Structure 1
Amino acid sequence: MMAKIAVLLAAYNGEPFIVSQVNSILSQLDVDVDIYIRDDGSTDKTASIIERFSVLHNVKIIKDGESTKSAAGNFFKILSQIDFENYEYFAFADQDDIWDPEKLKRAVSKIIDGSHEGYSADLIAYSNAKQHAQYLKKSYSAKEFDYLFQGASAGCTYVMTSKLAQVVSRTTASLQSSDFVGRSHDWLVYAIARAHQMSWCFDAYAPIFYRQHASNVYGAMTTMGSLLEKIKLVRGGWYRSNVLWIAANCGADQKEQDILELVRRGRFFDRVRLISRVSSFRRKTSECYVLALFFFFGIF
């Protein structure tokens, strides 16, 4: 029997891309897929384009008239309106990517084989404008507290069991749309899973062509310019703010509080103690070194 999967597609001004993405989701092999699409107040023709898909039995258009003003808010709004009993698995989809036909089939297989509740994968970032593609490896081994400092991968690679999706829904139920502005849904979902001691699969496989363009919310952060932009975000307090916000909303308990208190205070010796534990904060060794420098110089 094929796995029953709900795919959550958050749409906003996706006119140039959304048709090819929806078609790639509808072309998934050996799984039973329903797509839930919610437009977050597009000013282009996205709303009318997705309306054409509503004639298909497995495409559901969610209309509530509210603009959440963020991709994260849009995703969680969709999740709150789905009947969990109808699905075994839930997946996030960006509006502008292309999926490998076996993306969901492979994810379900990995989840079952490893008794996992959450799944993420590597991806291929590409730009038509620049005629450039790059493999993005995200499948590094989990560290003890990595979920406080980073997500698992791009959210478009995520697949959750119904059990995890329900925990995510309950954990975020009290948050308002405005709470998600400037936040990362993928990071929060991974943190919720780990804070609730749920197993996560990091798949060394790239099932998504991750399209890069001017409208990406975050993008792949692979060029020098984008890396400098990321450093600017860190210096401006965005990263520190998100670490504390994630911890406050993922269900973190006492074992995380010692680390978070050091982050909150941020005094010199607090930062030294954070540096001594930095290898447990990021999965990639080089990123641990960078984070240690941020702590040392007080940039974080």
Structure 2
Amino acid sequence: MTSQPLAADPTVGTAHDPADGAPPPPGPGGRVRRRRGSVHGSPSTILTIAVLGAVAYFLLPLWWLAVASTKSNTGLFTSFGLWFADDFNLLQNIRDVFTFQNGIFLVWTRNTVFYAVVSAVGAAGLATAAGYAFAKLRFRGSTVLFAGILGAIMIPLTALAIPTYLLFARVGLTDTPWAIILPSLVSPFGVYLMRVYAAGAVPDSLLEAARVDGASEARIFFSIALRLLAPGFVTVLLFALVATWNNYFLPLIMLSSPEWYPLTVGLAQWQSTSQAGSGSQALFSMVITGSFVSIIPLIVAFLFLQRYWQSGLAAGGVKQ
């Protein structure tokens, strides 16, 4: 009796070639087995999509601000928000911003630059000195003082605005530039950041060698440590610059004279005038254009200072 050969089962004993474009063979229960290492749904893909979404989230308001600053007051309400209107009104808007109310916008810009630069340099300098002292010097009460600084980071600045106003009102410093500059010189986060940075950027052996050569602590700080701490100094400087430039609540309660207003409070006054109506609706375009102009110095400052961010680490370590 001759036996007939059994028909070969195409799903048994055959290797699936992923290059032929055919789907993988079904597994037990008829389910299709997926190959491992698939790109779809991988963590890298999800992370890339999340990063792109975050970039779009941050850049979209800037794009809207740039586009809206080119529109007239009518075009703001009659055209698509994320694209240009038929009339390109940027130059006229800038001219209106700088000439409205006898050029008060220039006064606000000068005040903002003065407040931000003086406060940023002072805050960065104090934070650098304090961070270096906490990291490299041993003195009584340093642990308690640093713990108090860490606790101050947790307190929101708005909670300190009213007590600061009452204190400055008692000594007669309200409605003066000192009411903005003095509170901005205190940067607990800057002290914490510089303390951590100084602990790793300034070698103890270098300090000991300078002390053996007879250098004083002040000379060691200004001649040696400050060069090594330059990238951290620039970092705190940028943080303080942006914080003071964008500060709104403190100037709002401290200042009452328009000639001392920064840009944030001045533009808010224009905005409130526009919302009040009575023929002042045209201020909407000037408020948006003024907001766009006000962020340009921050962008320039960041682009100018980032090279010190990048090169300072290597420059401070070899030029000794």
TM-score, normalisation: structure 1: 0.24
Q: Which has the higher contact order (CA 8 A, sep 6+)?
A: 2
TM-score by length of 2: 0.23
Greater share of helix: 2
- Specify the structure having the higher radius of gyration (Cα): 2
Higher strand proportion: 1
